Amino acid sequence: MTTVEPIDVEDGAGTVEAVGSVGTLGTSGTTGATPTPTASGPGSTHLASESGLVVPVGRGDGCPFDPPARVERVRREQPVVRARLWDGSSCWLVTRHQDVRAVLGDPRFSADATRPGFPFLTAGGREIVTNNPTFIRKDDPEHARLRRMLTADFMVKKVEAMRPEVQRIADELLDRMTDGRSAADLVAEFALPLPSLVICLLLGVPYEDHEFFQRRSGILLSLRSEPEDIRTAQQELHAYLVRLARAKRERPDDAIVSRLVARGELDDDEIASMGRLLLVAGHETTANMTALSTLALLRNPGQMARLRNDPPLIKGAVEELLRYLTIVHNGLPRLATEDVTLGGVTIRAGEGVLCTLNSANRDDEVFPDGDVLDVGRDARRHVAFGFGVHQCLGQPLARVELQIALETLLRRLPDLRLDVPFEEIRFRHDMGVYGVYALPVAW
């Protein structure tokens, strides 16, 4: 069994951050390798817009809730620029809200990572997509065909009907966490198990196996994993889900994997790829949003008090937290299939693009005083779930989970506070999905 424990990231400039494709969730791989500049890549004709940025860009010593200062500067000064990737190749960095929406909403930009020139943030990222890719890295019409097999399960009505079940899980987890104790790690005991239990229930995956798949998804999401470890983790997870699909063929239930089997349109490999995407996307994201949101509220006690005094604010507050924190923080990758003019530059067919959702969500043109967390703001136009036809399939579920998790936490633990100095919190700079590794709290 090959496992990689999360590694501490040193502070300071040069810190590497994660790659944000929620691809098979995440792209990962070696960082810190010396880039070998390749002879005139596709970008060499664009020296005028060369930014000197190497992506993923680290936050360095900046505020851990803010996008990297250098990306923010680029958004204000030169919103579409060339940036350099780990392997010396280059791509376009698209940083403004309107341009990010334009790229992600435009079918001339492909999400098919098997196309030559597709930008990867790490070597491991390339490894992930070459291995049984599913619809997150395919284009329409194939993307739509596969996605539509799942849209009914995640539609608003279905997910809203799950509220009592999600509430029950949240309450049970808090009962256990607070039983005879006054301190705990909120990530391990609440933020992670909540979405993990929910997605297991939906998929028909036995929750008892959570250590197995959480470890492997941790490897897939880490920017520091070696490509070999990525491959192993990916294969183990895949084999596990193939076995699960076979088991459902024998003993069907009414959860998603079993129903995909029953449709008879997909083979076990295709079902396993979809299951893997849902399993990884379905718990790492909400888990990190829950913990990071809690921390952001603890650091903004005025906002926390507002939310406690006015619980109906929770829906809008969750949108604002999604905007402010933008945990898929390293830029969504796309490839231009035609020449497209954007923000005053021409992106040529065959060139890669990274859309930084976190800078778009701080764009003052759309969100005045975007660097301020304001739970009363109308943040619905945020792009934390992406944009275009790949926009997060699980967003109704993520919303319900986050609304219930945060509302329940604030209501049941009125004295909730950090149990360590803020400076000791370890942020997930090196992961595709941003957040904190642990959140020691007391109440």
Q: Which residues bind other proteins (CB under 8 A)?
A: 104-105, 144, 147-148, 151-158, 380-381, 385-393, 395-396, 399
Q: Which is nearer to ligand HEM, 377 or 382 (CB)?
A: 382
**Which residues are CB-neighbours of 177 under 8 A, at least 6 positions away?**
184, 186, 189, 190
Residue number with CB closer to other proteins (323 or 429): 323
Under the criterion CB under 6 A, does residue 385 sit at the interface with ligand HEM? yes
In angstroms, give the least distance from the CB of 260 to ligand HEM: 13
Instruction: Indicate the residue among 350 and 396 with the shorter CB distance to other proteins.
Output: 396
Phi/psi at 370 (nearest 5 deg)?
-60, -20
Interface pick for ligand HEM out of 79, 193, 282, 370 (rule CB under 6 A): 282
CB of 55 vs ligand HEM, minimal distance in Å: 15
List 121, 278, 360, 379, residue binding ligand HEM (CB under 6 A):
278
Asked if 317 interacts with ligand HEM (CB under 6 A), we say: no
| Residues in contact with ligand HEM, shown as a per-residue x/- string from 89 to 128 under the rule CB under 6 A | ----------------------x-----------------
By CB under 6 A, name the one of 27, 28, 217, 285 that touches ligand HEM.
Answer: 285
Q: Which is nearer to ligand HEM, 35 or 206 (CB)?
A: 206
Does residue 327 bind ligand HEM (CB under 6 A)? yes
Q: Does 328 bind ligand HEM (CB under 6 A)?
A: yes
Q: Which does 151 bind (CB under 5 to 8 A by kind): other proteins, ligand HEM, none?
A: other proteins
Q: Per the structure block, which two tokens stand in for 440?
A: 């020691």
Q: Name which of residues 133 to 152 contact ligand HEM (CB under 6 A).
A: 135-136, 147
State yes or no: residue 390 binds ligand HEM (CB under 6 A): yes
* Contact with ligand HEM (CB under 6 A) among 394, 430, 436, 441: 394
Query: Given the rule CB under 6 A, which residues bind ligand HEM?
Result: 21-22, 111, 135-136, 147, 199, 277-278, 281-282, 285-286, 289, 327-328, 332, 384-386, 390, 392-394, 397-398
